[in-house]
Structures are given as structure tokens and as C-alpha cells.
Structure 1
């Protein structure tokens, strides 16, 4: 595991070279290739070095992080063309990738907390430094304070945990079962805010709308998964107490998910709509983790990977439109099928994946999560039916609103899509649909 960390650390001086942007991107692709080929013990932690190691869950999420960071550079060519502090941008992306890599690979809970909070800083810099509107500072403060507000209780509970069981190693936690309500609450809330759960989700749409394309991609693709990953790691020591209180979180998630899905129909900003759909999908993931059964865990993991690729691709599409029309309003982005007919195919493919159509990983994840939640309580069926229906509804609404309709006559100059954009979209869509063939890796490791 150290070799990949060294690879990334030695890429930092590269960021300050002149005209080296695409080389950094190719190096990340190379890193991805190396990382895919490591020997992995599917049932246990492997590749142990110092405080680092990985199991199947870390492996998938680290791979997603490297992949999304690579695609971020590919999607942010505008920054390169206009030379908007490109060296600092590359440095920021590399720093963010290192933080995410360490968050998913460290085995010590305190180190996990350290990098979990550390990944917030480069994201904040991305939003404030390269965002679009002046409101980006307010969005950055929302992001910072929502996340930081619940992270102090998490830190305190980690210290208490160390005092109680004399170890912070994640692997050792399976031998303990703690029944403390305040500890349970303070540890879990930081992850629920990061997910984000309904009621503490307001920072996400703001951050997405103000972030540049790279910020939106990493936020949707990886940052939301930190909460799910933390919960899956922590839940093992709170099995008994979670069985008493899980109904609260599941009810809030399901009802909130349905309400947020309905709220998607009221959005007139494309990015805002995709951001709210992310909250809805993550509420399903929270429900799956809280059921504490095998199907719930597997479904949450699959949906986290699938949503990371799909949502990131949707933000890329909205950015492609934004670069042409300089607006993200649904009222101006109409009749795009006339302008970019080939891009319409990608809108269709990613919108259909977003509504969990086969053969995407989202379908596989949502199916397993529905099985898990229905086995937990048959009354959850009603909310899940509404959730699936509205999920298809807002995806169709977004697709039909942007692609069909009368042309916006305000558009005077226009240029067609370039091959770089098709490549970005293909690299989102292809793994999202092809990984279904290897679904046994996602299902059989726990």
C-alpha cells in the first residue's frame, strides 16, 4: 500500500512543471492500472503495511477515487485552456486523492478520522477557488460547518473508545460489542451528515451548484461515500444497540428519500436536480446499512460504487451544456437534441442508469437494498414503491426537459461536442454497466 502512496507523493512536484497537465492525467491512469492488478484476499485484509491495509470494500472505493480524479482532469480542460492557476489545481487534486486514498486504506480509527476530515480542505479550496458564482463562499461555509459540527463528538468518542477497549484497529473491533447510547449517537451522526441524511442535507445542493465540474464530480463520486464507508466500519461494534434504534434512521431515510425525490421535480437548475437525486439515493444506502443484514451491506456497497460513477457522469453532462449555453437553467437548456444529437444518447444512457435501469450497477444495488428493507419490515414496501417511481420520474423529467422542446432562440454561437467529452462520458458509463458481469465480487466477500 505504501508504494501507491509514494507514487502519488512523487507526482506532487510534477504538478508545477509547465504544460504537464495531460501527463499528470496519464500518470493517474497508470496508477489505476497498477492498483487494479494487486493481489487481493477477498475475505480478509491484505496488502498490509504500517497502518495501512485493504479489504474488498476499501479496494472498490480507492479504485473509484483514482478513477474519478483521473476523469476530473479530463473534464476540466477549460481551466487548462484559460490557464486558471492550473498548477495549484493539479496540486489540489493530488492532495485530495492522497487524502481519500489514506482515508479508505488506514486501519486505525483515529487516522481514519484525521484523513476523513482532511479531505474536506481540498474540496473547500476547489469550491472557493474555482467555483462560478460569488455565493460559492457561502456554499463552502455550509459544507465546512455542517461537517465540522458533528465531527467533534466523533473525535471525543474515538478517544473514549480507545480508553474502553484499548485498541483503535478496525480489524480488532469485531471482538467487541458496546451498548452505550451516547457513544453510538455521537459516532454515527458525523457519518450521517456526510452521507447526507435528510434533515442534514442542505449543504450538498449548495456545494454542488457552486462547485466547478471537478468539485461536483469528486463530491458526488467519492465524498458522499466516506459517510457510508465510515458507517459500515463502525456498525460492527454497535450491533446490539443499533437493533434498538435503527428504525428511527430507516424511517427518516425512507420518508426523506421520497420527499427529496418529489422535490427534484421542483428544481429548475440541472446541477441542483442531480444533487437532490444524490441525496435520495444515499438515503437508500443509509436504510440498507441500518438494517444490519447481509443484503443491506452488499446493496449499499454496490449502490455506492454505481452512484459514484453515474452521478459524476451526470454532472459532466450538465457541465458540457453549461460550457455551451453558460446557463444551467432547465428553461434555457431546451431542445438540445437539435444542437447535439449524439450527446442526446449519453443523456439517455446516464439518465436511464440514474433511474436504475438494467444493466447498470444501480439496478443491482437498488434490488438488493429493496430486498433488505422489505425483509426488515414489510411496511417499508410503500415508501420503496414511491421511491422507485419518483426516481424514474425525475430522471425522465430531466432527460425530456433538456433534450426535447422548442429551441432557445437566445443561442447564437455554438460548437459541437469534442472527442474528449465523449471519452469522459464513456469512461463513466462503461464501468458502471460492465461491472455487473462481475457482481459476484461485490456480493460474496463479506
Structure 2
């Protein structure tokens, strides 16, 4: 694990070299294949080195992080053309990747907290530095204060555990079970805001709408998964409390997911609609983890990987339209099938994955989550039906509104899709639908 970290650290000087934009991407591809070839022991932690290790949960999420960072560089060609603080952008991206890598691979709970919060800084710089509208400062503040408000209790909770047990290795937490209300709430809230759970989700649409395409991709692809990863790790420690209080989060996530799905139909901004759909999907993940059963843990992990690829792909599509029309409004983006028929196919493929059509990972994840909800209580069926139905509804709404209809006559110049963009979309879609063949790895990790 240390060798991967070293490779990333030594990529930082490359970022400040002139004309090394695509070289950084190639190095990340190399890193990706090196990491894929790690020997993985599925039952336990493996690849131990100093403070780092890897189990199947970390492995999938680190792989996703590297992959999304590669695609972020590919999507940000406009920065390369305009030379807009290019070296700092690359440095920011590699630094963010290092932070994410460390978050997913450290074994020490305090270090996990440190890198969990550390990944906030490069994201904030991405939004404020390369965002499009003046409101990006406000979006950055929302992101910062929502996250920091609940992260201090998490730190205190970690110190309390260390004080009691004298070690905070994540692997050993399973030998302890606490029955403390304050510890339970302080450990969980930080992850619920990061996910984001309904009621504390307001920073997400703000941040997404103001962020550049790379910021949106990393936010949707990885930052939301940090919360899920933290919950999966911490829930083992809080089982007794979980059996008493998890019902609160399950109810909030089911009702909130349904309400947010309805809210998607009210959006007129493409990015805003995709951001709200992320909240709806993540509410399913929260509920699945909170049911505390095998299917729930498994389904939430699969859906996190699936949603990371799918949501990132949707933000790429939105950006491709934005680069042509300089607007994210649904009304102006109408009738795109007339201009870019090939792009219409990619809209369809990625939208269909978003509504959990086979053979995408989202389908496997949602089936597992529905299993877990129903084994928890049959009454959750009603909300699950509504969430699944409306998730297909707003995906179709977005697709049909953008692709069909009369196009906006204000369009004065236009260019077709580039091969880079088609490749970018294919690299989102292929893993999302090919990984289903290797679903057995995920099914036995717990």
C-alpha cells in the first residue's frame, strides 16, 4: 500500500511541469493497473504496510477514486486549452487523490478522521477556484460549515474510544460494543451529513451547481462515499445502540428519499436535478447500512460503487451540453437529438443505469437494499416502491426533456461530440455494467 502512496506523492512534481497535463493522466492509468493487480485476500485485511491496509471495502473505493480522478482530467480539457491555473489544478487533483487514498486505507481511526476532513480542502479549492458563478463562495461556505459543524463531535468520540480502549485500530473495534447515546450520535452524524442524509442535504445541490465539472464528478463520485465508508466501519462498534435507534435514520431516509424524488421533478437546472437524484440514491444506502444486516451492508457497498460511476457520468453529460450552449437550463437544452444524435445514445445508456436497469451495478445494489429493508420491516415496501418508481420517473423526465422537443432557436454556433467525450462516457459506462460479472467478490466480503 505504501508503494502506491509513494507513486502518488512523486507525481506532484509532474503537475508543475509544463505540458504534462496528459502525462499525469497516463501515470494515473498506470497507477490504476498497478493497484488492480494487488493480491487481495477477501476475508481479512491484506497488503499491510506501516499504517495502511486494504480489505475488499477499501479496495473497491480506492479503485473508484483513482478511476474518477483519471476521468476528471479527461473531462477538464477546457482548462487545458485556456491554461487556466492548470498546474495548480493538477496539483489539487493529485493532492485530493492522496487524501482519498489515505482515508480509505488507514487502519487508525484518528488518522481516518484527519484525512476524512483533509479531503474537504482540495474540494473547496476546486469549487471556489474553478466554479462558474459568483455564488460559488456561498456554496463553499455551505460545504465547509455543514461538514465542520458535525465533525468536532466525531473527533471527541474518537478520543473517548481511545481513552477507554487505549487503541483505535479499526479492525479491533469489533470486539467492543458501547451503550452510550452521546457516543452513538457523535460518531454517526458526521457521516450522515457527508452522505448526505435528508434534512442535512442542502449543501450538496449548492456545491454541485456551482462546482466545475471536475468538482461535481469528485463530489458525486467519491465524497458522498466517504460517509458510507465511515458508517460501514463504525456501525460494528455501535451495534447495541443501533438496534435501538437506527429506526430514526431508516424512517428519515425512506421518507426523505421519496420527498427528494418528487423534488427532482421541480428542477429546471440539469445539474441540480442530478444532484437531488444523488441524495435520493444515497438515502437508500443510509437505510441499508442502518438495517444492520448482511444484505444491507452488501447492497450499500454495491450501490455506492455503481452510483459513483453513474452520477459522475451524468455530470459529464451535463457539462458536454453546457460547453455547447453555455446554459444548464432544461428549457434551453431541449431537442438535443437534432444536433448530437450519438450523444443521445450515451444519455440514454447512463440514464438507464441511473434508474437501475440491468445489467448495471445499481440494479444489484437496489435489489440487495430492497431485500434488507423488507427483512427489517415489510412496511418499508410502500416507500421503496415509490422511491424506485419515481427514480425511473425523473430519469425519464430528464432524458426526454433534453433530447426531444423543439430546439432553442438562440443556438448560433455548434460543434458535434468529440472522440474524447465519447471515450470519457464509455469509461464511465463500461465498468458500471461489466462489473456485474464479478459481483461474487462483493457478495462475500462481509
TM-score, reference length from structure 2: 1.00
Alpha-carbon deviation of 1:379? 0.4
Q: Tell me the residue number matched to 2:402.
A: 402
Q: Tell me the residue number matched to 1:48.
A: 48
Q: Which runs of 5+ in 1 are unaligned?
A: none
Q: Tell me the residue number matched to 2:145.
A: 145
SS at match of 1:123: helix
Alpha-carbon deviation of 1:165? 1.3
Q: Is 1:193 the counterpart of 2:182 in the alignment?
A: no
CA–CA separation in structure 2 for the residues paired with 1:11 and 1:207: 28
Q: Tell me the residue number matched to 2:352.
A: 352
**Where does 1:102-121 land on structure 2 (aligned, <5 Å)?**
102-121=102-121
Q: Tell me the residue number matched to 2:328.
A: 328
Q: Is 1:36 the counterpart of 2:6 in the alignment?
A: no
Per-residue CA deviations over 1:44-69 (Å, capped at 9, x if unaligned) read 00000111001000000000000000
**Where does 1:423-438 land on structure 2 (aligned, <5 Å)?**
423-438=423-438
CA–CA separation in structure 1 for the residues paired with 2:303 and 2:407: 36
Q: Is 1:307 the counterpart of 2:310 in the alignment?
A: no
CA–CA separation in structure 2 for the residues paired with 1:148 and 1:224: 15
RMSD: 0.4
CA–CA separation in structure 2 for the residues paired with 1:240 and 1:160: 18
Alpha-carbon deviation of 1:407? 1.1
**Where does 1:177-188 land on structure 2 (aligned, <5 Å)?**
177-188=177-188
CA–CA separation in structure 1 for the residues paired with 2:292 and 2:425: 35
**Where does 1:40-439 land on structure 2 (aligned, <5 Å)?**
40-439=40-439
> Which consecutive segments of 4 or more residues in structure 1 shift more than 4 A?
none
CA–CA separation in structure 2 for the residues paired with 1:361 and 1:30: 25
Alpha-carbon deviation of 1:282? 0.2
CA–CA separation in structure 1 for the residues paired with 2:15 and 2:166: 42
Q: Which runs of 5+ in 2 are unaligned?
A: none
CA–CA separation in structure 1 for the residues paired with 2:171 and 2:274: 36
CA–CA separation in structure 2 for the residues paired with 1:396 and 1:169: 45
CA–CA separation in structure 1 for the residues paired with 2:84 and 2:110: 36
CA–CA separation in structure 2 for the residues paired with 1:165 and 1:404: 61
CA–CA separation in structure 2 for the residues paired with 1:328 and 1:359: 30
CA–CA separation in structure 1 for the residues paired with 2:429 and 2:174: 36
Per-residue CA deviations over 1:402-423 (Å, capped at 9, x if unaligned) read 0000011000100001000001
SS at match of 1:327: coil
CA–CA separation in structure 2 for the residues paired with 1:229 and 1:215: 20
Alpha-carbon deviation of 1:377? 0.3
SS at match of 1:236: coil
Q: Tell me the residue number matched to 2:5.
A: 5
CA–CA separation in structure 1 for the residues paired with 2:194 and 2:404: 36
SS at match of 2:235: helix
CA–CA separation in structure 1 for the residues paired with 2:282 and 2:367: 14
CA–CA separation in structure 2 for the residues paired with 1:17 and 1:389: 50
Per-residue CA deviations over 1:95-137 (Å, capped at 9, x if unaligned) read 0000000000000000000000000000000000000000000
SS at match of 2:48: strand
Alpha-carbon deviation of 1:268? 0.2
Alpha-carbon deviation of 1:217? 0.2
TM-score, reference length from structure 1: 1.00
CA–CA separation in structure 2 for the residues paired with 1:104 and 1:319: 28
CA–CA separation in structure 2 for the residues paired with 1:186 and 1:23: 43
